[in-house]
Amino acid sequence: MVGELSARVQDSQDERLVEQYCHLSFLRWDQVRVRAETMGLRDAPEPRLGRFDGHLKGPARTEKAPYGSGMTQRLHSAMLRARLDSAALAEAVDVDAKTVNRWLSGRVPHRRTRAAVARVLNESEDLLWPQTRPDLTPGASATAEVQSAYAHRADIPNELWTSLLLGADEQIDIAGYAYPFVLELLPNAADILASKCRDGTRIRMAFADPDCPHVAERDALEQMSGTLPGRIRNALNMLGELTDTPGCDIGLHTTHLYNSVFRFDDQMIVTPYLIRARGYQHPALHLRKLSPHGIFTSFAEQFEQIWGSATHYPEGLSRELTA
């Protein structure tokens, strides 16, 4: 393999191949530089923060690889990319070289040290030591994304709702049946949302089509005596100038929902529906996005599914219905 790589290096200007050649043939960086210049490579590699005076120490070939060896290989590779050996990295983060070698054998540094190593190597902590962030692993059972849980939506402090609404500056996505309370959080809530759109915030609000069969079913389940369609029309009427504001899209869906979603940038309120309970009686979860594989992403993807089937308003319903 080393011979094959050496032949490729001779015909290449790719510095990464020189780095791989150094690792596989256990050359010192000064030797690699001479070799690179001999081969006529431009911009021969230089150590950045320390001199690489030998190959990185790792598990012997005859030893059984330690648990998490794939993870320690990430540190090994990052040190190669930074052209640092154990001694140079140890000096940069103020530890002993033997400590770095223990990391390369599988030991996980303390949190403060991990942050320092990540800065020196220009990598993220979760890439170097993914075992320290189980919530970033697909299928993980970590629940760190759940910031708080409420027995009822009505238990959520009004201050939390308003802080989420006022603090969002990238996107606001809402899907439910009516949710007029969102537009009643502040006396000028619709004007605030319109102003956010003009400043670049993307807002998407999906209401249920008041004439679709699912609305009648939900009305019966919540024992609302036929008032849900009127609540939806009332909420649409409260939108005011939002319906004509660039950056704000209003849609009508015909999806049978099992929960409402209120997303404000990387935070979200989700209310799972209970049978025969009104909207304010449903439980609620306050979520914060910490992982692309977490519960936040699951509900965000559900919103996209709902939004993809929604009809643009007011094309889907005449303005007269909201009068």
Q: For the chain, 323 residues long, give each residue's pLDDT as a single digit of tens.
A: 444 544 554 444 455 554 554 444 444 444 445 444 544 544 444 444 444 444 454 444 433 434 445 567 889 899 999 999 999 999 999 999 999 999 998 899 998 899 999 999 999 888 888 878 766 666 666 567 899 999 999 999 999 999 999 999 999 999 999 999 999 999 999 999 999 999 999 999 999 999 999 899 989 888 889 999 999 999 999 998 888 899 999 999 999 999 999 999 999 999 999 988 889 999 999 999 988 888 999 999 999 999 999 999 874 444 444 44
3-state helix vs strand vs coil in the chain, percent to 5: 50, 15, 40
Using a cut of 0.95, tell me whether the model's pTM lies above it.
no
Write the CB contacts of 128 (distance below 8 Å, at least 6 apart in sequence): 71, 74, 75, 78, 114, 117, 118, 121
- Residue 2, number of CB atoms within 10 A of its CB: 12
Q: What is the pLDDT of residue 292?
A: 83
How many CA atoms does the CB half-sphere of 149 hold within 13 Å? Answer: 7
* Alpha carbons 128 and 141: distance in angstroms, whole number: 21
Q: What is the pLDDT of residue 240?
A: 87
For 167, counting Cβ atoms within 10 Å of its Cβ (0-12 exposed, 13-18 middle, 19+ buried), the class is exposed
- Choose among 162, 322, 186, 175: nearest CA to 261: 175
* Alpha carbons 254 and 207: distance in angstroms, whole number: 9
Q: What is the pLDDT of residue 45?
A: 47
Q: What is the pLDDT of residue 99?
A: 93
* Alpha carbons 267 and 146: distance in angstroms, whole number: 10
- Residue 219, number of CB atoms within 10 A of its CB: 19
Contact 19, 80 (CB under 8 A): yes
What H or E segment, with its residue span, contains residue 148?
Answer: strand 146-150
Q: What is the pLDDT of residue 141?
A: 63
Domains annotated for the chain, with CATH where assigned, are 2-136 (1.10.260.40), 146-322 (3.30.870.10)
